[in-house]
Amino acid sequence: MNLKTNNKINPLFSMSSMTDIIFLLLIFFMLTASFITPSGLPVSLPSSKSSTIVIQKVSVTITKDLRYFVNDKEVNISDIEIHLRYEIGDKEGLVVLHCDKDVPVEHLVNVAGIATSLEAKVIIATQPSKK
């Protein structure tokens, strides 16, 4: 008497659907991580009701003690135009200003004027206000 069943259970588990999900999550996190490029300098940003995320091209930071940084490299205020011109180059000019909220407005306007004279768009970085 030969009793064999036709329904054999396969002990292997297919991991193809799991790897697809992991791959999609990896792509999602890689894409969203590139949109958030925080400045490495400790600056207390002012808050605003609407805050948008932009891909940062050139970052200019003005600290509380009026030190100027272009892409995390400290520069003199007299040399800021040269450094901005070099960093913008032939790319689309987009300058993100990270100013401490205690910095007088004249310093912000001075840097924004230099960037505008180089035909760059100027964006002021803010943090979203708490509701």
Give the single-character DSSP code of 18.
Answer: H
Report the distance separating Cα 15 and Cα 23, nearest Å: 12
Structure tokens, 27: 């792509």
Give the ranges where the chain is alpha helix by DSSP (H). Answer: 16-35, 80-88, 105-117
Q: Which residues of 50-64 are buried (b: 16+ CB within 10 A; e: fewer)?
A: eeeeeebbbbbbbbe
Report the distance separating Cα 62 and Cα 96, nearest Å: 11
pLDDT in tens, 16-41: 788 889 999 998 888 877 555 555 56
Structure tokens, 103: 């910095």
Total-model pTM? 0.58
Domain spans, the chain: 38-128
Say what the pLDDT of residue 17 is.
Answer: 83
For 14, phi then psi, to 5°, come to -80, 120
For 19, phi then psi, to 5°, come to -70, -35
Residue at token pair 């396969």: 10
45 band by pLDDT with thresholds 50, 70 and 90: low
Structure tokens, 33: 């991580």
